Amino acid sequence: MHIVVLAKVVPDYLVPSMDFELKDNRAHERYSRMLGLYDENAIETAIQLKEKTSAALSLISFGSENDVQFLRKAAAMGVDQLILIKGQSDDAAVIAQNLMAAVKTLGPVDLILAGQQSADMDRGVVPGILAQMLEMPFIPQIGYIDSKGGEWAVTQITATGKRELEFKGPGVLSITSIPENVPRIPVVRAIFAAKKKPVTKLESINQGKMALTELGVEIPKTKSICEFIDVEDMNAAAKTLLTRLTEERYI
């Protein structure tokens, strides 16, 4: 069995809005880089599945050579093989076509996991495009995965609850976070071993872009002045807050 996980290295997504700056319409390069949050959930889910099914596990990323150092964290967590497609584009169709080309170099695969959303473009589109190009079903927001009698049994986390779904054959799933897929912290020995792991590097293929023109990126202006309520006397603080909320007719 062969499982593939798709992950992207992104600028630090916890930089607060106040400190956020753009350069050439993208996050300033001074921010540190890391694996996307949901991509780490996907990696953790894939590793758990690998442990259950003795599958081989490959990670594919489309990005710059500089990303390799951050992708190694996935190897330290338990990914067997790292594949980097060297390229630069935020176009979802271009990314999906490149990911597809890399998937095809692996021969038959049984399951492809992605993050629910990338932590920079925030869109949840790439895995759905890839799935359709590979003629596989796409199911978003999956929490739990089980392999059951040659089929996949998965749990989708929806806005109102959960759905149990089953399908046969390969598919593309986007992974959401659940308490059970909080990414493991790799042990020191694994971090060192991951540093020596060879990384397969592929050249990007030049593919057609989506019919979308980027007109501009702006940082929205927000102004909020926080009135700090003195908490020396907690009882008084509670009453003051309530009075202020009533005065301003919020309650």
Partner 1 sequence: MKTLIIENIDPKKIGELMTVSQKFCEIPDIIALGDGPVPGKFGKVWQTPKTVAANLISSVVNIIQEEKYEIILMSVSTLGTGLAGPLSATLSAPVVTEVTAIHPDRVVERPIYGGKAMIKQKLESTPAILTIRRKYFEPATLDGTTASTPLSLDADKVRLVAEKNEQADGIPLEDAAVIVSGGRGVGDKDSFALLQAMADQLNGAVGASRGAVDEGWASPTRQIGQTGKIVAPDVYFAVGISGASQHLAGIANSKCVVAINKDAEANIFNRARFGLVCDYKKILPLLTEAVKEKR
Ligand X SMILES: Nc1ncnc2c1ncn2[C@@H]1O[C@H](COP(=O)(O)O)[C@@H](O)[C@H]1O
Ligand Y SMILES: Cc1cc2nc3c(=O)[nH]c(=O)nc-3n(C[C@H](O)[C@H](O)[C@H](O)COP(=O)(O)OP(=O)(O)OC[C@H]3O[C@@H](n4cnc5c(N)ncnc54)[C@H](O)[C@@H]3O)c2cc1C
Residues binding ligand Y (CB under 6 A): 13-14, 37-38, 117, 119, 122
**What is each CA distance from 140 to 108, 160, 198, in whole angstroms?**
22, 15, 31
C-alpha to C-alpha distance for 145 and 164, rounded to whole angstroms:
10
Residue 82 or 194: the one with the smaller Cβ distance to ligand X is: 82
Check binding of 141 to ligand X (CB under 6 A).
no
Residue 27 interacts with partner 1 (CB under 8 A): yes or no: yes
**Closest distance of CB 200 from partner 1, Å:** 25
Closest CA to 123 of 131, 111, 115: 115
Q: How far apart are CA 119 and CA 37, in angstroms?
A: 6
Q: Is 70 in the site for ligand X (CB under 6 A)?
A: no
Judged by beta carbon distances under 5 to 8 A according to partner kind, the member of ligand X, ligand Y, partner 1, none in contact with residue 103 is none
CB of 192 to partner 1, least distance (A): 28
How far from 142 is each of 11, 39, 155, 206, 226, CA to CA, in Å?
Answer: 25, 12, 6, 31, 38
Of these, 58, 98, 176, 204, which contacts partner 1 (CB under 8 A)?
Answer: 176
Rg (CA), the chain: 22
15 binds, among ligand X, partner 1, ligand Y, none (CB under 5 to 8 A by kind): partner 1
d(CA 176, CA 180): 11
C-beta separation of 120 from 81 below 8 A: no
Among 2, 55, 62, 112, binds ligand X (CB under 6 A): 62
**Interface positions, 115-134, toward partner 1 (CB under 8 A):** 116-117, 119-133
In the complex, the residues that contact ligand X under the rule CB under 6 A are 6-8, 36, 38-39, 42, 61-63, 92, 95, 99, 114-115, 117-118, 121-127
